[in-house]
Structure 1
Amino acid sequence: MAKKPERNADDAELLKQAFQDVTPLPGRTINHAINRTVPTPPTPKISKQSGTRERHAHPISSRADAQLPEIRHGDAPGLDKRSAQRLKRGQMEIEARLDLHGLRQEEAHRALTSFIAGAHSAGKRCVLVITGKGQVSEGGGVLRTIVPRWLNQAPNRTRVLSFTHATPTDGGTGAIYVLLKRQRP
């Protein structure tokens, strides 16, 4: 990716001179201070029991990912309504499956990232990630709640277009349909 050219004081002064005679349209306000800072990710929570940081609190690691909107179950930014409905109803062909049952968080995270990268590079579009429903107590399994976060983080977010819970025949809330972006030539 090409780097943006650096701006210097001379350029800013020339721009200011060029715009000194410009008047805003009626009813419009001038925004003199544009906030260009990237918000800092929240610091990981410290577990009371062990005194260590929680492993699943991964910050977004690149500016490109910070600009992409977060995807939630069923959301489909950039996807047409018909395709979004087909994904939600389980009508898209599942081209690959990943079963995370019995894996620890670190193993599951590595497996998911590797699986998404491999499926994307192979040109696959719709994949099924099976997390399992987990224990019934306190909202279900750990993987079931953390996999959507992982799909929204680098490097997965740049490859994922949308995801939603699977239909009951494919695992229901214990599985996720993931629609991958098409590869750019």
Structure 2
Amino acid sequence: MGFRPFEILRERVARDRLPAGPERPLCEEDPEEFFRKVRPLEDRNFFWAPCPRSPRREEERDWPPEPLRVRVWQTSEYMEGRAPGVTKELLRRLREGRIAYSRVLDLHGLTVAEAEVVFHRFLRECLFRGDRCVLVVHGRGLSSPRGPVLKEKVRFWLERGPLRRHILAYASARPCDGGPGATYVLLTRKGWRKK
């Protein structure tokens, strides 16, 4: 025989049926007649207490779940570096976005050659102005078949480029500033004079 859940339930209900109790009439009487029949309670010390709520099931207790907090520096896309003599505390402050950046460079849509020229020109100008921290937006390279090309080039220019001695530290930005698609760059405090 096939699966017959409702027929089995109907048979079980008919077999286990309890004897019928007194029928409670629906409230169809006239409200005025109802209030004539009602007598006030004698003076007793009655108190009202709310019905205790049944404890929630385990799934309901944990719902909605807490949002997952993933820090940028815990991902595989994170990058950072520091010059010799720069403390870990300073790098941590940079990573957490506690050092305000004053200028932003966006390299989206540029070729590597164009980006290199623009990047070095931007850093020179920032050094001339005496900027302490800047943000370089290079993207994550998710649409590139070869991976994050500009991101890796920015890391290379920061570590081995002609202006590397003026860079104290760099770290991937916080999610609100671009996450792994942007980098904070901490520059030396000494201004760079034009020659």
TM range, smaller chain:
0.5 to 0.7
TM-score with structure 1 length normalisation?
A: 0.56
The CA distance in 1 between the partners of 2:171 and 2:162, in whole Å, is 19
Is contact 2:99-2:133 (8 Å) kept? yes
The TM-score with structure 2 as length reference comes to 0.53
2:109 is aligned with 1:125:
no
The 8 Å contact of residues 126 and 179 in structure 1, kept in 2 or not, is answered as yes
Please give the residue correspondences for 1:28-67 in structure 2 after superposition, counting only pairs within 5 Å: none
* Cα distance in 2, alignment partners of residues 182 and 169 from structure 1: 26
What residue identity is the alignment partner of 2:155? P
Q: 1:137 and 1:114 mapped to 2: Cα distance?
A: 25
Which residue of the other structure, out of 132, 141, 159, is the alignment partner of 1:152?
Answer: 159
Identity %: 41
Does residue 114 (structure 1) correspond to residue 143 (structure 2)? The answer is no
Residue 90 of structure 2 is matched in structure 1 by 83
Q: Count the aligned residue pairs.
A: 114
AA of the residue aligned to 1:146:
K
**What SS does the corresponding residue of 2:150 show, helix, strand or coil?**
helix
1:183 is matched by which residue type in structure 2? K
Match of 1:176?
Answer: 183
Q: Which amino acid aligns with 1:81?
A: K
Q: Partner letter of residue 172 of structure 2?
A: H
**Residues in 1 aligned to 2:164 and 2:81: alpha-carbon distance in whole angstroms:** 15
Cα gap change, 1:114 to 1:142, in 2 (>3 Å): same
SS of structure 2 residue aligned to 1:113: helix
Q: Deviations over 1:47-99 (max 9, x none)?
A: xxxxxxxxxxxxxxxxxxxxxxxxx7144532223322110101111111000
Deviation at 1:134, TM superposition (A): 1.6
Which one-letter code corresponds to 1:172 in the other structure?
G
* Structure 2 residue 80 is matched with structure 1 residue 73: yes
1:158: how far off? 1.7
Over the aligned positions, Cα root-mean-square deviation in angstroms equals 2.0
Give me the whole-angstrom Cα distance separating, in 2, the residues matched to 1:163 and 1:150: 11
Whether the 8 Å contact between 1:90 and 1:167 is mirrored in structure 2 is yes
Aligned partner of 2:104 in structure 1 is 97
Per-residue deviation, 1:149 = 0.2
SS of the counterpart of 1:127?
strand
Where in structure 2 are there 5+ consecutive unaligned residues?
1-78
Please state how far the C-alpha of 1:136 moved relative to its aligned partner.
5.0
2: CA distance between counterparts of 1:137 and 1:102?
A: 12
CA contact (8 A) 1:126 1:180 kept: yes
Residue type at the aligned position of 1:181: T
**Alpha-carbon separation, structure 2, partners of 1:158 and 1:76:** 8
